[in-house]
C-alpha cells in the first residue's frame, strides 16, 4: 500500500512540475547566437488567450503610436498605462499627453507582433520595423501614398513599450499584446 501512495505522490509532483515549466516563456537566439528571453513572449499569444502582464524595464514607458511621419522616423505618440486583470491579462489605454519622438538610428531594434506570421519578430528601424509601425498606425506605407496599405499583418491597437534617451530619441520599441 505504501508503494502505491509513493507512486501516486511521485506522479502528482511530476505533473505539477511539467505544468509549471510549460508556462515559462521561450528563449530566443539573436543573429549573433546570443540567447535572450523573448521580450514579447509573455504577451504575444494570439486567439484570445490570456496574456501575462508586461513589466516595464527601468527607463521604459508605454505609448500608443498615433502616426509615423517625416522620413519614416518621427513618431507621434500618446502616453499610455497598463491595466492588468489576472483572469484576462493586460490591456492598455492611451491617457497621457501627445509627444513627438524620432528614432535614434536606422539600427534601433523594433520588436513587432505579426498576424500572418507566427510569433514576434526582431527588426530594425531601417529593416522593416518603422514601416510595420507606420502601416499599422497610418494605414499607408509612405507619406506620399494615397492608397491604403495592406494592414492584415497588423496586430491591433498600436501600443508599444519604448525606451527614450535623454535627447528624446527612441532607442528600442516592443509592440505589445493586450487582451
User: E strands within the chain?
Assistant: 27-29, 35-37, 60-69, 74-85, 89-103, 109-112, 121-124, 159-164, 169-175
Q: Is residue 115 part of a domain?
A: yes
**Cross-strand partners of 160:** 63, 175
Per-residue pLDDT of the chain (179 residues; tens, 9 = 90+): 544 444 433 443 333 333 333 333 343 444 433 333 333 333 333 334 445 787 899 999 999 999 998 777 799 999 999 998 878 888 899 998 899 999 999 999 999 887 777 667 899 999 989 988 998 898 877 666 566 777 877 877 899 999 999 999 999 999 998 65
Sequence-separated (6 or more) residues with CB below 8 Å from residue 48: 179
Q: Is residue 17 part of a domain?
A: no
Domain membership of residue 142 as a residue range: 42-175
Q: For the whole model, what pTM was predicted?
A: 0.68
Q: Is residue 16 part of a domain?
A: no
Quote the number of domains for the chain.
1
Nearest to 168 by CA among 100, 69, 106: 100
Sequence-separated (6 or more) residues with CB below 8 Å from residue 137: 65, 66, 67, 68, 158
Amino acid at each position: 500500500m505504501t508503494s502505491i501512495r509513493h507512486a501516486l505522490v511521485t506522479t502528482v509532483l511530476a505533473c505539477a512540475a511539467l505544468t509549471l515549466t510549460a508556462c515559462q516563456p521561450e528563449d530566443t537566439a539573436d543573429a549573433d547566437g546570443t540567447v535572450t528571453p523573448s521580450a514579447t513572449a509573455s504577451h504575444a499569444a494570439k486567439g484570445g488567450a490570456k496574456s501575462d502582464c508586461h513589466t516595464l524595464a527601468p527607463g521604459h514607458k508605454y505609448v500608443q503610436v498615433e502616426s509615423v511621419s517625416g522620413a519614416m522616423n518621427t513618431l507621434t505618440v500618446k502616453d499610455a498605462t497598463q491595466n492588468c486583470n489576472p483572469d484576462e491579462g493586460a490591456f492598455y489605454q492611451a491617457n497621457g499627453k501627445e509627444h513627438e519622438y524620432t528614432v535614434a538610428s536606422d539600427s534601433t531594434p523594433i520588436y513587432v507582433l505579426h498576424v500572418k506570421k507566427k510569433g514576434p519578430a526582431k527588426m530594425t528601424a531601417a529593416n522593416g520595423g518603422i514601416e510595420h509601425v507606420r502601416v499599422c498606425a497610418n494605414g499607408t506605407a509612405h507619406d506620399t501614398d494615397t492608397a491604403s496599405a495592406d494592414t492584415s499583418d497588423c496586430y491591433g491597437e498600436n501600443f508599444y513599450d519604448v525606451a527614450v534617451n535623454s535627447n528624446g530619441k527612441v532607442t528600442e520599441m516592443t509592440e505589445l499584446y493586450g487582451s
